[in-house]
Chains A and B, each alone.
Chain A
Amino acid sequence: MGDIFVLAEHRRGELREVSLEMLAAASSVASELGGKVLAVLLGSGVDSFAEKLAGYSDSVLYVDDPLFADYNSEKYQRVMSALISQYNPELVMIAHTTQGVDMAPALAVELKTPYVPDVTGLRFEGGRLQPVKLYYQGKVNADFAFKGKPPYLLTVRESSFLAGEPSKQGTVEKIDSPLKEDIQYRKFVEYIEAAVGDVDISQAEILVAIGRGLKEEKNLPMIEDLAAAINGVIAGSRAATDAGWLTHDRQVGTSGKNVKPKVYIAIGISGAFQHLAGMKAAKTIIAINKDPNAPIFSVADYAIVDDLFKVVPKLTEKLKELRG
């Protein structure tokens, strides 16, 4: 294997954990197939990130330029394209995040390069790298092989690899920006913070969370009864907030909030990875879902495989009895 590029991701003065996860994944490729791990960093005032990345890579290439003060996929694409032509890596890893998915597919088209998105695992067969990708909301896996010419481009799902501890002392090289002027056709304007709601679900001790399985808003009182019986706060998956059953500040998951309550009761939630990422740290997880293969059960401590409309009212009734 030739060199491996890992595009580091950061936002608002923070290096995102997925950068280190990808460097760990890249190191595992390098130890199986050879090659060097190069962290690529684009930003403004990011010396400290470059230093940190050096602990996880053989070398760090970084551009420090006000042009990259904020993420802009079009600018990133131009620079990545130029650096890839210059350094000829064999493998390029970009995070499958809101930044990465806004850029990697266009880069793949531009470079006419083999591309596998949303990779959750890496397998090695006969000296070849086989990325693993999930289909049908995690119910099916697929193994891929590259056919075309390198570089091979992957986007890597967050939390799929363990970041590990810094164990390298890579060289750090600051390079001139291949992009000399700002672009006009896409401009970053500003960040908008999440709206603050009446309750902060990330502080709640007991969460009763609902998902698509609740079917209709008119079924919400049944959940409110349960929450009232145990002094719980109602939260939900993306499906529940998209449907307007709950306000967005009650959304658990990657695009909402991370929670770690004492008890998390997941009702009619299948458990998309974005949701699991936000709640798997809960102390006790109880999942009620009629599909025994629902991914939510992979993180649950107690599994109730049944029709939620039959179980929840009875559960509320029993809880009320027991708690007097």
Chain B
Amino acid sequence: MKMFVCIKRVPDTSEADVKIDQTAKNVDSSRFSFGINDADNYAVEEAVLIKEAKGGEITYLCLGPKDADIVIRMALAKGGERAARVEDPRINYRDPLQVAKVLAALIKKEKFDLVMTGCMSSDDSNMSVGVALAEELGVPHAAMVKKVEILDGALKVQRELEGGLSEVVEISLPAVLTIQTGINVPRYAPIRGIREAQKKELKVLKLEDLELSENEVNEAGSQVELLKFYIPEVVSNAEIIEGAPEEKAEVMALKLVKGGLL
């Protein structure tokens, strides 16, 4: 099984204060901590599990700055042969269709059986790159996959639907899957793997290496324009409980018990 896994380095903004920068088209990321996108981490694990069970090789692909190398090396430490990172300031990283075009250019030249990526990134959450990539590559796909079974020349996958329901679909290989979180239990990178990962191939590429013209993937070439970022007004009618932690706990407990909420 020859596999490609597309991964992204994203900021952890779950508890961070997010501020818009001066361009109004980006956020100030100077105080964020970064890591691998959650769903991509599950895609990495799924590829490593498939390789362990069926053999094969894994190539990781990533678009982003040099700082993303840490994320790539961690994936390589878990398993996989090589990686390529595309770093080019001309690429419009915000447009999922243009990102898919860059990834497709990386994969197209080679033979492959399976491409996997997370079903969603936690920063842009377009849920679009994987499925767009399948179309660019001209192969079938399944999105939001939470179980993969390998058949002869095909895959049987479970897709997560709403309300706890799933559907099973069969798709022929080669194919693209977008992986949903919870499909497996991502391992920690083993110490030995981390050492070995340092020696594995990690190519850094530019648009010229991919034979892509600038206009296909830059902001001017995007069919949509991100006009501006702004902080939405959070409308909250909540009563804010003030005080030290202990005081807050007491006030809340009183409301629950004496206030008749329970």
Contact = CB atoms under 8 A, between A and B. Distances in A.
Interface of A: 11, 70-74, 96-99, 101-106, 108-110, 112-118, 130, 134-148, 184-194, 206, 212-213, 230, 238, 241-242, 244, 248-249, 251, 254-258, 262-263, 270, 284, 286-287, 289-291, 293-295, 297-298, 300-307, 310-312, 314-315, 317-319, 321-323
Contacts of B236: 297-298, 300, 303
B167 A105 contact: no
Contacts of B245: 306-307, 310-311, 314
Q: Which of A70, A97, A143, A312 has the most CB of B within 10 A?
A: A143
B141 interface: yes
Interface of B: 11, 13-18, 20, 27, 96-97, 100, 119, 122-132, 134-136, 140-144, 156, 158-172, 181-182, 185, 222-232, 234-241, 245-246, 248-250, 252-258, 261-262
A241 B135 CA distance: 32
A116 B239 CA distance: 36
A139 B171 contact: no
A248 B30 CA distance: 36
Contact of B170 (A112, A142, A189, A302): A189
A145 B127 CA distance: 19
Given A102-B159, A304-B248, A138 B229 contact: no
Contacts of A322: 253-254, 257-258
21 contacts: A73-B141, A98-B143, A104-B131, A136-B11, A139-B231, A140-B27, A140-B230, A143-B227, A144-B226, A148-B223, A187-B170, A189-B156, A190-B168, A230-B256, A256-B164, A263-B256, A303-B236, A304-B241, A315-B253, A318-B253, A318-B254
Per CB-CB distance, the 7 closest pairs between chain A and chain B, nearest first, are A194-B164, A148-B223, A314-B249, A318-B253, A310-B245, A114-B223, A106-B135
Nearest to B141: A106
A184 B172 contact: yes
The DSSP consensus for interface residues of chain B is mixed
A136 B162 contact: no
Q: Which of B97, B134, B136 has the most CB of A within 10 A?
A: B97
Contacts of A146: 223-225
Q: Which of A188, A192, A300, A310 has the most CB of B within 10 A?
A: A192
Contacts of A141: 229-232
The DSSP consensus for interface residues of chain A is mixed
B124 A101 contact: no
Nearest to B168: A189
A258 B134 CA distance: 33
Given A293-B17, A314-B249, A323 B257 contact: yes
Contacts of B119: 101
Contact of A185 (B27, B124, B140): B140
B148 to A, nearest CB: 14
Contacts of A189: 156, 167-170
